[in-house]
Amino acid sequence: MKSKNRISRRSILKGAGLVSAMPLLTAASYPSASGRGKTSEAFKEISEKVWSTPFIDTHEHLIEEHQRLAVPPIHLRSDDWSMLMSHYLDSDFLTAGMSQQDYQAFYSTRMDPEDKWALIAPWWPHVRNTGYGQAAQITMRELYQIEELSASTVHLLQERYESVRRPGFYRMILEDICRIESCQVNYIGRPFCESRMPLLLMQDISIRGMYAIRGKPASVAVQEYSEPAGMKVMCLTDWHRVIDWWFDKYGRYAVAVKSQNAYSRDIDHEQISAEIAEPIFKELLDGERLDDDKKKALEDHLFWYAVARATEHHLPVKLHTGYYAGQNINLPLWRIRNNPASASDLCRRSPKTSFVFMHIGYPYYEEMIALAKHYTNAHIDMCWSWLINPSAAKDFLKKYLVAAPANKLLSFGGDYFHIEPVVGHASLARHGITQALTELVIEGWIKIDAALDLADAIMHQNARRIFHLNEKAEALKQAEWAK
């Protein structure tokens, strides 16, 4: 996108006095019960390695830069500094006790940015140390040079927020500040996004709507996929053809397929034949309400249909597992805790499919380590886990690396719609990775050379191999929307 106001990345960095991300701790401040000298040495070497190694970011929901710069921006409730405190920190404010009324006002477009501070001031001390809160704080420090959020700094924060949010800021944030080589975007709004930055914002194909039945009238749900394909859906075979169309059109450009349907049910998908699914699909198209057994049977059939297409196209299948975003609506831990067990059935049923289980199945992450240890086709993605609970994520990483093959672990992805907090999250993750690797060395589990090699594997090499990124980059250069 060309614009008269376009500024170079360097000039944004220089003008706003920005710096690239820095370690959160120095060697001298690194706490350890063991000998200080040895600790400091290992910490320093690993820290330098991790902070200079690029990430491949395996999961975001980023909207496109031009959509973000549109007036009003698409998908954002507010476009001032309060945006930094939304998705996902807003949930912590509510569960800390903030009222719905103050919450609505804080994220509205109608209130002066300076008046907003008064609304969160009572709650900020309670949430600033959570992963969500820390990512926001680090973003303020590294992107805007604001050390402490307060009544006296909020005006400056707003000024700098506006000075950064200009054409070119996506590349500046991702490449220059976060050292992110490429992102993998699960675009919300269309099953596949023809990105204007196709090599930086690589895309997943969203398969959720191919199999999940979610409240909407069937005609509406079907249209989302059938209309772009230019097809009419009268029976299950038609719907199979629609699914095929998405893989034929976008399979070579997509990095993976993605579904977050574990927000609605467990991932306990049984293999159900088309003969059983066909009459149920017909009932659905006729507008009938399916009972739970029929709904599950149809979803299970279509899940495996989509997974089989993904497998044919060498696309890994990314599935949400574990904790849910949001607050006070529904967090069925009794069901979520079954995710790792159901995941083991998926791996067994389709050994040729590469499954990527997201978010370490938090809080049931020990089970996910067992899964990756046992099944060749089980990969674990730490995306979002640094934000949900950074200390647990570090614990998971240490345990994973001494239990399961390191080539199946992905260490970073943010899950954000807006780009700025990626800065804080990338620093949080680098901090945690540094800590985990250092502790493994000083506790005597692994040697320092192994730790340095592991940093490369989990931060970028595994992602490049698992998602065939070199091949995808070549295909994307030829894509019609890239020209």
CB closer to Zn ion out of 296 and 359: 359
Q: Which two tokens stand for residue 208?
A: 């959720």
Give me the least distance between CB of 394 and Zn ion, in Å please.
21
Distance CA 239, CA 410 (A): 33
Cβ closest to Zn ion, residue 142 vs residue 415: 415
Contacts of Zn ion in 387-416 (CB under 5 A): 415
- Closest to Zn ion by CB, 124 vs 323, is 323
**Between 123 and 132, CB nearer to Zn ion:** 132
Peptide bond before 122: cis, by omega within 30 degrees of 0?
Answer: no
Residue window 412-441: x/- pattern of binding to Zn ion, with contact defined by CB under 5 A? ---x--------------------------
Tokens representing 235 are 């029976």
Residues 293, 294, 297, 299, CA torsion sign: negative
- Segment 354-373, which members bind Zn ion (CB under 5 A)? none
Q: Which is nearer to Zn ion, 45 or 204 (CB)?
A: 204
Please, which of residues 129-158 interact with Zn ion by CB under 5 A?
none
Least separation in angstroms between residue 415's CB and Zn ion is: 4
Question: Other CB atoms closer than 10 Å to residue 405's CB: what's the count?
Answer: 13
Considering beta carbons, is residue 415 or 420 the nearer one to Zn ion?
A: 415
Shortest Å, Cβ 60 to Zn ion: 8
Comparison of 277 and 428: residue with beta carbon closer to Zn ion = 428
Nearer to Zn ion, 119 or 422 (CB): 422
- The distance of closest approach from Cβ of residue 78 to Zn ion in the complex, given in angstroms and rounded to an integer, is 21
Q: Residue 259 CB, nearest distance to Zn ion (Å)?
A: 10
Q: State which residue has the least CB distance to Zn ion.
A: 415
Shortest approach of Zn ion to residue 403 CB, angstroms?
Answer: 26
Q: Among all chains, which residue has been given the structure tokens 């990775």?
A: 433
Least distance CB 258 / Zn ion (angstroms): 8
Q: Evaluate the omega torsion of the peptide bond into residue 279 and state whether it is cis, within 30 degrees of 0.
A: no
**At closest approach, how far in Å is the CB of 416 from Zn ion?**
9
Does 60 help bind Zn ion (rule: CB under 5 A)? no
- Considering CB under 5 A, how many residues would be counted as binding Zn ion? 1
**Is the CB of 133 or the CB of 413 nearer to Zn ion?**
413
Contact letters for Zn ion, residues 252-281 (x by CB under 5 A): ------------------------------
Closest distance to Zn ion from the beta carbon of 212 (Å): 15
For residue 138, give Cα distances in angstroms to 26, 148, 226, 424, 443: 16, 10, 43, 5, 29
d(CA 433, CA 426): 10
Which residue, 181 or 415, is less far from Zn ion as judged by CB?
A: 415
**Which is nearest to 270 in space by CA: 181, 176, 186, 342?**
342
Which residues, 6 or more positions from 276, have their beta carbon under 8 angstroms from its beta carbon?
A: 297, 301
Minimum gap (Å) between residue 383 Cβ and Zn ion:
7
Interface with Zn ion (CB under 5 A)? 415
